[in-house]
Chains A and B, each alone.
Chain A
């Protein structure tokens, strides 16, 4: 910030903030009705959900997932299998393991309810793709099916490689159905053991049209083989996409203490609360705008700190090094003494 600028903190908003107005854009935690259950294999349960009052559901990009309540205090992510276009229902397929997935298998019944959040998009399709190579391993078929369906809707072409253990091929029939539609530009390749999968991966990655994007989801062994084969085949990283079924990091951070130097006031900032929120709650005035760590409005001078965890995109590398400032809306630390 240049010295010439005499900027004052903006007027803080008292009004409640409204994100989207229409219910068709609701993404927060809400309860949906279970309107369909289907056992796809002995370990995979397909679950269909709808809004209890028949309101439209938020559309989503292919490859999105829902965060689903899966037992006491437990929330798991499950990929949506639909194409995301103006969906009447949300559909997920859950492989039974030990914890929340087993709870879902045990507990869900048609007519019952399920708490969900999202959809969230972390595995989207590139809009410049000339062709899609979709690679699925086991239950990783769920987002791949979503991508294949979206490609069909957009009239685009896709090659699907599905690697599964015989007898455990959830959604294989759906993929064949997509490929079999008149005029379909979807092709399905199957592999039923590790060797076949590797051979197919290598062969397919060597022979895709210019401008193809590849997407893979499956067990880590498959994903490693995929990344390796893509690199060997000369694919730039910008064309190689994947999703791992491990929990995304929603890091709420550790609690810490901030001190206002001028008054000696100590403010406890709990986990999941930002420094900015902590200070505002304690009545310490701080200007802010975006609360996303980009606008630079909430920059606070730091006198001393045991540790600073910069999570913004405002401060330069040198500024971070110096530790003289912290962006209160996103960054954290330990025992921060603020020069206020």
Chain B
């Protein structure tokens, strides 16, 4: 095997402030932040263009989700970011920016830094107009110990490109789409936590190419509707969408990308052999946010991945029962695409026991 020289992982060094201590002392409860993906009474799952307005908090039986654009993950934040940064350092190909998308990456960085500073004012700060220069900013993230001054649009003022810079600070995978040759194309991305797909393969694709492997989606007209929605999405609103799966690895590994397949492909069989697989199976929720960025017109499709094990789900009998019903009813083509068709009987039995 060829040896790759790994870049150093930017260290995570939380500041010692009362706000940081309080933030990191939050109880770790994976269900409490999980966007429960099914409406009450929903018993049969089919794909739909299930977009909804963002930044509206949704209560669940276990807690709440959706208050902010970015959910840092509470006390789990440094853990997620350490995994993110390690992946980025080991595999620079997870960041792909096609020519012409450079400005969109700055647009995204600025939008998110501004939003984070307003959502988490005790621990994240963005100084604008540093020394009276409207293009100069200073970003401080006390939770990770980041303190970075930069000039908008000047890549040499950052340790890496703007897209990677943001990817090092937020748990979300970052995807940017823009219209090209009459269709929406996925032309820039920083993706470390893809669910069995590869950003370096998918970047540059249009919506039809991307969604080719998804059963029913294009054939039902859904791809066309999703594209229309994104093309027409108004600039003054922010939208979101929830997707769900049961992860191919029964561990809390976020990076189950296609790139990393050799590392995680054996996890499920090993756990099945050990008899621990089913309770550890992870209900994996993707919360996706759509923002139209003003300077470039690019639209985000930023994916925040949440996980809770079936054991954790089972603490909420109503949710366990609903998930069991949905898994039981799920058509085989969908279950096969999602990758867990062979586990359904065991999962349903476990959730109902």
Q: Write the residues of chain A forming the contact surface with B, with a CB cutoff of 8 angstroms.
A: 2, 4-8, 10-11, 13, 15, 17-22, 24-25, 27-28, 56, 58-61, 84-86, 88, 119-121, 124, 126-129, 153-154, 238, 289-290, 292, 294-296, 313-314, 316
Contact = CB atoms under 8 A, between A and B. Distances in A.
A127 B236 contact: no
A17 B53 contact: yes
B209 interface: no
Contacts of A28: 236
A106 B107 CA distance: 37
B46 A2 contact: yes
Given A13-B53, A60-B294, A295-B229, 15 more contacts: A5-B46, A6-B44, A10-B52, A15-B56, A17-B237, A20-B236, A22-B111, A85-B153, A119-B294, A126-B180, A127-B187, A238-B182, A289-B50, A290-B49, A295-B52
> For the complex, would chain B's binding face be called helix, strand, loop or mixed by DSSP majority?
loop
B21 interface: no
Contacts of A128: 99-100, 180-181
**Range of interface residues on B (Cβ < 8 Å):** 35 or more
Nearest to A61: B297
B40 interface: yes
B251 interface: no
Interface of B: 39-44, 46, 48-53, 55-57, 99-104, 107, 110-111, 114-115, 118-119, 128, 134-135, 152-153, 178, 180-182, 187, 221, 224-226, 228-229, 232-239, 294-297, 329
Contacts of A13: 53, 56
18 contacts: A4-B329, A5-B46, A8-B39, A11-B39, A17-B56, A17-B237, A25-B111, A27-B294, A127-B99, A127-B178, A127-B296, A153-B153, A290-B49, A290-B52, A292-B234, A294-B229, A295-B51, A314-B225
B41 A8 contact: yes
A86 B115 CA distance: 16
Contact of B48 (A11, A18, A121, A296): A296
Nearest to B135: A86
Given A10-B39, A290-B229, A294-B229, A22 B118 contact: yes
A148 B310 CA distance: 56
A208 B181 CA distance: 18
B294 A58 contact: yes
Nearest to A289: B52
Give the top 7 A-B pairs by smallest Cβ distance, nearest first: A127-B100, A59-B295, A294-B229, A22-B114, A313-B228, A8-B41, A21-B118
A325 to B, nearest CB: 15
B134 to A, nearest CB: 5
Nearest to A87: B134
Which residue among B40, B178, B233, B297 has the maximum number of chain A CB atoms within 10 Å of its CB? B297
Contacts of A120: 235
A118 to B, nearest CB: 9
Contacts of B135: 86
Given A6-B43, A21-B119, A127-B101, A313 B50 contact: no
Contacts of A2: 46
A153 B295 CA distance: 13
Contacts of B118: 21-22
B150 to A, nearest CB: 12
A24 B114 contact: yes
Contact of B51 (A22, A129, A294, A314): A294
Nearest to B228: A313
A116 B104 CA distance: 25
A277 B98 CA distance: 42
Nearest to A314: B225
Contacts of B296: 61, 127
Given A58-B294, A128-B181, A19 B119 contact: no
A84 B152 CA distance: 13
A263 to B, nearest CB: 24
B152 A86 contact: yes
Contacts of B228: 294, 313
A127 B107 CA distance: 14
Most buried by B among A11, A20, A121, A314: A20
A313 B228 CA distance: 7
B65 to A, nearest CB: 14
Nearest to B187: A127
Contacts of B40: 8, 11
Nearest to B53: A17
Contacts of B187: 127
A15 B64 CA distance: 14
A85 B53 contact: no
Contacts of A8: 39-42
B153 A61 contact: no
A23 to B, nearest CB: 9
A77 to B, nearest CB: 15
A61 B110 CA distance: 15
B42 A313 contact: no
A6 B180 contact: no
A22 B102 CA distance: 22
B295 A61 contact: yes
Nearest to B117: A22
Contact of A238 (B51, B99, B181, B295): B181
Interface centre among A8, A28, A294 (most CB of B within 10 A): A294
Nearest to B107: A59
A314 B49 CA distance: 10
A2 B48 CA distance: 11
A21 B126 CA distance: 14
Contacts of A154: 102-103
Contacts of B225: 294-296, 313-314
A313 B294 contact: no
A83 to B, nearest CB: 9
Nearest to A124: B297
Contacts of B329: 4
Contacts of A11: 39-40
Contact of B57 (A10, A15, A127, A238): A15
Contact of A56 (B46, B134, B229): B134
B238 to A, nearest CB: 6
